[in-house]
A and B are shown apart, each in its own frame.
Chain A
Amino acid sequence: MSKPVMIAAALLAAATCLPLVAGHAAAGTASGDLVVYTSTPAKAMADLVAAFNTAEPDVAVSVFRSGTTEVMAKLAAEFAAGAPEPDVLLIADSVTMAGLKADGRLAAWPDAPVDGLAPDSHDPDNTWFGTKIIATGIVWNTAAGVPAPGGWQDLAGPAATGRVVMPSPLYSGAATIHVGTLSADEALGWSYFEALKANGASAVQGNGAVLDAVATGRAAYGVIVDFMAFNAAAKGSPVAFVYPADGVTAVTEPVAVLKTARNPEAAWAFVGWLLSDAGQRFTVAQGYMPLRADAGSPPGRPAVDAITIRTVSPEQLARTSDKTRRRFAALFGG
């Protein structure tokens, strides 16, 4: 589907389905400025805001965007300065959200519209809510003449020597979860990453940079979030994506509202729209796997339950995330 068609379809979906927002805000009633800090790529975020504005035309959304790690660094500085800017956070992973919740930064929405969503996709106290499923797998360049990868160990194998790029946890939230999960694995562990380093793998900044490196022939293989690889392949990039058979890592790109939000009404309207049928359908139109099964899934994807997702307890990941970043940075230099 071309981009204009995709947007048109999404706008239509957004316009015809009444968002299932209850409690804090009814559709089309919120207004004013809304500040969103996000790790969603700039273009995708702009499209998302446009779709949201078809349901809530009077909310003026402004966005700060960077990798999750930098967004959090920015926010931490704002907390330190006593002036947190954002109303809404839409970042890669729930581990970071759990940390913010533990610090008492997140507001709760007791009657959030979570019916039909998997219980573990959102916080039991309704402070943060997953919005989609983003799995990290392997992308490879189909013109490179290299064997299609099957599992994570293939990246440490001879066909991949000097040909692998990965996103850095110093930038990406999905990468922090990915490295945190695999390094906690008994079979893989940190020795897996040391093997990658020994095999000449290098770290770039975000997932977008991984895609660029693999598609433009800098590397043959890349560790990357699924939607980015699928979207690029659909637009003609010479890349293919595989969900490794030994299990992918995944994040849910949760959304949350800060207790210090200046426009809570618009903030909850934004959250409600993301979780609504319209919001979820728009998520699919953008090439993401939705959390609501009835929203369909992007063309050419396996069913969510056909993918093995590795999990490590959020508490453990939260405890180790700074250490994970330090150790990764020491190993790969950034």
Chain B
Amino acid sequence: MIEPAAETRTPRRRLERLMPYLLLAPALVTLIVLLGYPAVSVLTTSFRELGRGELVRGEVVWTGFDNYVEVLGDSEFWLITLRTVLFTGTCVLLTIGLALLLALLMRRLPSGVRLLLQVSLLLAWAMPQLSATTVFQWIFDQNYGILNKTLVAIGLDGFERYSWFTTGLSTMAIIATLIVWQAVPFVAMTLYAALVGIPQDQYESAGLDGASAWQTFRNVTLPPLAPMLALVTFMSILWDFKVFAQVWAFRQGGPNGGSTTLPVLQYVEGIARGNFGVAAAISVLMVIVLMAISAQYLRLLLRSQGSEQ
């Protein structure tokens, strides 16, 4: 920053020095009050016995690791954690795989068809999550859903009034379909933007060298795409792990808790049952699991980059 000569008077210079802090202050205060304080508070709450009774009486009862012992000692928690991790993994793999294929496809399309595809993706992306959720519920409706009607129409009479939500697994599969459907457009567009940046002549020289399609993808397309691919994978893990709206809207974690994930468990335990201390412990464990998945992923990423060099 240059200092114009006229501004050397001291009050102005002091203001100049204070300026960045003044500009930063609102953001800093917001982050500390609305993020920093709750972040500390979720930790302290997780070491307290805090139910509706304590809340009303304003009591502070410290119980050490009791909440964690309770949560970790419950086999249900481990089942839900495993389910959440598998669900996240499935959604992320499908999202990234399909989005990558779509991005590669877009690159080879004539511009008119490409525009059609992109507008479709954008429209689907613009659909609010809850709108999309209700449409999927309507499509999968037991009696009048178009899916069952279609299956019957092509001769699979067993699907007349078939219920897709009788088991946790099928419920999770439908929720995963919805999540992937919603997530693919953004990822595909991002990957496509990165693909467009790869110089054309690299493909031409790969063609001259007689490289196969796979070799071209592996050696020309993948290296410049890798950072973006890593980023969208990481972001997808974050998004899919903490999905709540769609899971809750479908069957509130049912049938019989069969589609309960960690965010749903946190909500049910804390808000519905009023066990705030236990729910806070679940929140903390949720972050730890998420960090563990991400750390493992980052390590894999580093290793794969190391082996390429």
Q: Do the two chains belong together in a single complex? A: no
